[in-house]
Each structure stands twice: as structure tokens, then as C-alpha cells.
Amino acid sequence: MMILVLKYLIPKGYIGLTVFPFIFIKNGGLKTNASLINHEKIHLQQQLELLIIPFFILYGLDFIIGLIYYRNWHLAYKNIIFEREAYAKEKDLDYLKSRPFWAFSKYV
């Protein structure tokens, strides 16, 4: 895992983005935000479990379905199965030590 600060790569309204094996954050001060880094590490694990490309396909499909269903960008994003797991467990800094394989599936 490598954390890179790239403020122009991160879409407006977001502070972090993960594309295996990188975590991109909007500014250097966010490196000390343990919850954010844990959230992004959860995405790294999800990406590995789905062999990276399928993760992004499922992520995009889930977002599009959510956008059609909710008709709201923010709600669609928050309800992506991968985001639901990451937001639910981001404050549990020990979560990745005991996280079961394909744990995101319980958020479907």
C-alpha cells in the first residue's frame, strides 16, 4: 500500500480514492486521519478479493443501479455495497485483522 497526495485527481466532494495498490488523498494532512486510511484499506482488501477489475465493474454497476433507484448521487454512492462495509467499519482500526473473506457480501 502506498499513500499519495494528489489533490487534483480526487473528484470534488471526496477526500480519498483507492486503486490497488494506491491510496490517493486530497491533502497531506489526511495521512493522519486513521478512520479515512482504514476506510481506504478496506477498499484495498475488497479489490484484492475480487481481483481488482471485477471490483470496479461491480462498484460501477451498483452505483448506476443506486442512481436509478434513489435518483440521488450521494445516496447512490453511500449505498454501494463496498462503501457500506467501509463506512460501517472505518472506525474499527482492528477490523482488517479479523475481517472474513468477502465480508462485503453481508452488506448486499
SS3 state of residue 102? coil
pLDDT tens by residue, the chain, 108 residues: 899 999 899 999 999 999 999 999 999 999 999 999 999 999 999 999 999 999 999 999 999 999 999 999 999 999 999 999 999 999 999 999 999 998 999 998
Helix (H), strand (E) at residue 67: helix 53-70
- The dihedrals phi and psi of 22, each to the nearest 5 degrees, come to -105, 145
| Cα–Cα distance measured from residue 8 to residue 105, given in angstroms and rounded to the nearest whole number | 32
pTM above 0.75, yes or no: yes
- In this prediction, residue 1 carries a pLDDT of 86
66: alpha, beta or left, given left = phi > 0 and alpha = psi -120 to 50? alpha
